[in-house]
């Protein structure tokens, strides 16, 4: 099996072998002069995935070596490897044309991430792959990951997505966006204008997949005036609600995140109409649903960023048809999501281990990724009290 530096890349050779394509590139272009190289790449990737479906050693079922307490990294990398649009983006080398020209020489993180993904999906054997080259790059981007201490998987995910986005941002130079007053617009118009302003600076494949928009409504208890703010989000950190039964649902956690909070005492904000500090109520709703919804279950208490305790509450989450209509902003479309990956934390704050459960996008079956070991599991095993970060993919929505 090749090393990371020798990893495969999915490219179309000048003369594709007959075994790879049931036709010749010249024949295709003779029949359709407008055919592009990207179409040939798409065909090749499609054949690769079809081959995986019919193969006993399907691609994407390769483990990652633990380099020394790097299970947190391996867990997230396997979840992202099974994010099928991000996987295809890497397999097709689409990142090469998106690399920010102003920092192309510094785009080593995206390059190594793509190489690692390609190796996971083109490896002919079952031997685990070393992510050492990738680790070298992520710790250059985020020095907190230097060394071999156990780290938080959700925190690693945020840094990784931010680093990948920065390197393939389609916006060069990040122009300064002037501050505009949108208070005269309706909430839907204001949300759309704020989203477009965000894209004027932050626009990438990573944003296309992972970023949504939250609406925060602040209502004055004195005069009833309601002000709204719209902010992008990459994931939602959900508090775990507590019930006497010891089991809660994922919707219980989202309700706790979005419930109205009363801001009083020292927390009183200034009402824009009253022009003075007033008791207010604050509420979150989802204005724009992302294609990939990442939900982080807040199992750890972290006073001073030191984990002191862990909640092992069983959160019952749906594998299919997570309906978020209840949490959408007024007049926003509903959105239904299907689960495809889970990052698990096993153990306590004193000693823990990360694994991943992922649904292989080529086979549609669930697998357990425990560092070097990959094994099939049934869908009934996916839910557990170890679930820490949930990855959902948008199944249907009347507005994207």
Say whether pLDDT at 32 is over 80: no
Residue located via tokens 């925190």 = 155
Alpha helices (runs of H) in 201-262, residue ranges in sequence order: 205-210, 250-258
Say whether pLDDT at 45 is over 60: no
**What is the model's pLDDT at position 214?**
96
Say whether pLDDT at 69 is over 60: yes
Taking residues 153-181, what's their average pLDDT?
87
Q: What is the C-alpha separation between 261 and 259, in angstroms, rounded?
A: 6
Query: Hey, where are the domains in the chain?
Result: 58-172+186-394
Band of pLDDT at residue 102, cut at 50, 70 and 90: low
Catalytic amino acids?
Answer: 71, 353
Per-residue model confidence as pLDDT tens digits over 372-388: 999 999 999 999 999 99
Taking residues 293-313, what's their average pLDDT?
81
Per-residue model confidence as pLDDT tens digits over 178-190: 777 777 788 889 9
Say whether pLDDT at 302 is over 60: yes
**What is the model's pLDDT at position 203?**
94
Would you give the distance in Å from CA 399 to the centre of its chain? 20
Say whether pLDDT at 97 is over 80: yes
Taking residues 231-254, what's their average pLDDT?
90
The better pLDDT of the pair 104, 90 is held by 90
Say whether pLDDT at 15 is over 80: no
**What is the model's pLDDT at position 128?**
95
C-alpha distances out from residue 114 to 5, 122, 223, 240, 271, Å:
12, 12, 54, 35, 48
Q: What is the C-alpha separation between 133 and 2, in angstroms, rounded?
A: 13
362's tokens: 């080529």
Band of pLDDT at residue 331, cut at 50, 70 and 90: low
**What is the model's pLDDT at position 105?**
56
**What is the model's pLDDT at position 381?**
97
**What is the model's pLDDT at position 351?**
81
The better pLDDT of the pair 275, 291 is held by 291
The three-point CA angle 188-194-198 to 5° equals: 145
Say whether pLDDT at 342 is over 90: yes
Taking residues 260-278, what's their average pLDDT?
88
- The mean pLDDT of the chain is 82
Q: What percent of the chain has pLDDT over 90?
A: 57
Element (H, E) at 376: strand 373-376
Taking residues 102-112, what's their average pLDDT?
76
The three-point CA angle 21-24-27 to 5° equals: 140
**What is the model's pLDDT at position 332?**
56
Whether the full predicted model's pTM is greater than 0.95, yes or no, is no
**What is the model's pLDDT at position 251?**
95
**What is the model's pLDDT at position 28?**
33
Across-strand partners of 341? 358, 391
318 close to 379: Cβ distance less than 8 angstroms: no
Task: Give every CB contact of residue 111 below 8 A, 6+ residues apart in sequence.
Answer: 95, 137
In CATH, the architecture of 58-172+186-394 is Alpha-Beta Complex (3.90)
**What is the model's pLDDT at position 47?**
53
């Amino acid at each position: 099996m090749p090393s990371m530096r020798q990893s495969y890349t999915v490219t179309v050779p000048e003369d594709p072998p007959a075994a790879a394509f049931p036709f010749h590139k010249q024949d295709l272009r003779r029949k359709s002069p407008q055919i592009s190289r990207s179409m040939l790449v798409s065909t090749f990737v499609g054949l690769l995935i079809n081959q995986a479906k019919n193969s006993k050693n399907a691609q994407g079922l390769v483990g990652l070596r633990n380099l020394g307490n790097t299970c947190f990294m391996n867990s997230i990398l396997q979840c992202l490897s099974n994010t099928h649009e991000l996987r295809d983006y890497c397999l097709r080398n689409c990142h090469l044309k998106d690399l920010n020209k102003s920092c192309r020489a510094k785009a080593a993180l995206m390059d190594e991430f793509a190489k690692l993904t390609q190796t996971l999906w083109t490896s002919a054997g079952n031997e685990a792959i070393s992510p050492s080259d990738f680790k070298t790059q992520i710790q250059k981007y985020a020095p907190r990951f230097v060394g071999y201490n156990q780290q938080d998987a959700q925190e690693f995910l945020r840094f990784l997505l931010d680093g990948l986005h920065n390197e393939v941002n389609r916006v060069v130079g990040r122009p300064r966006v002037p501050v505009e007053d949108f208070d005269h617009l309706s909430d839907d118009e204001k949300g759309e204008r704020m989203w477009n302003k965000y894209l004027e600076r932050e626009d990438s494949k990573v944003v296309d997949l992972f970023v949504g928009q939250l609406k925060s409504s602040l209502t004055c208890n004195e005069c009833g005036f309601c002000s709204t703010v719209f902010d992008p989000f990459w994931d939602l950190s959900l508090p775990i609600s507590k019930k006497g039964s010891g089991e809660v649902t994922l919707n219980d956690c989202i309700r706790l995140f979005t419930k109205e909070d009363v801001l009083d005492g020292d927390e009183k904000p200034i009402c824009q109409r009253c022009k003075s500090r007033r008791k207010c109520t604050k509420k979150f709703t989802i204005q724009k649903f992302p294609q990939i919804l990442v939900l982080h279950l807040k199992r750890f208490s972290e006073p001073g960023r030191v984990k002191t305790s862990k909640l092992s509450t069983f959160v019952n989450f749906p594998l299919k048809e997570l309906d978020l209509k209840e949490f959408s902003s007024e007049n926003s479309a509903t959105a239904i999501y299907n689960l495809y990956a889970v990052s698990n934390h096993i153990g306590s704050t004193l000693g823990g281990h990360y694994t991943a459960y992922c649904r292989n996008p080529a086979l549609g079956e669930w697998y357990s990724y425990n560092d070097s070991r990959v094994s099939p599991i049934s869908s009934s095993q996916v839910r557990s009290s170890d679930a820490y970060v949930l990855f959902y993919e948008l199944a249907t929505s009347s507005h994207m």
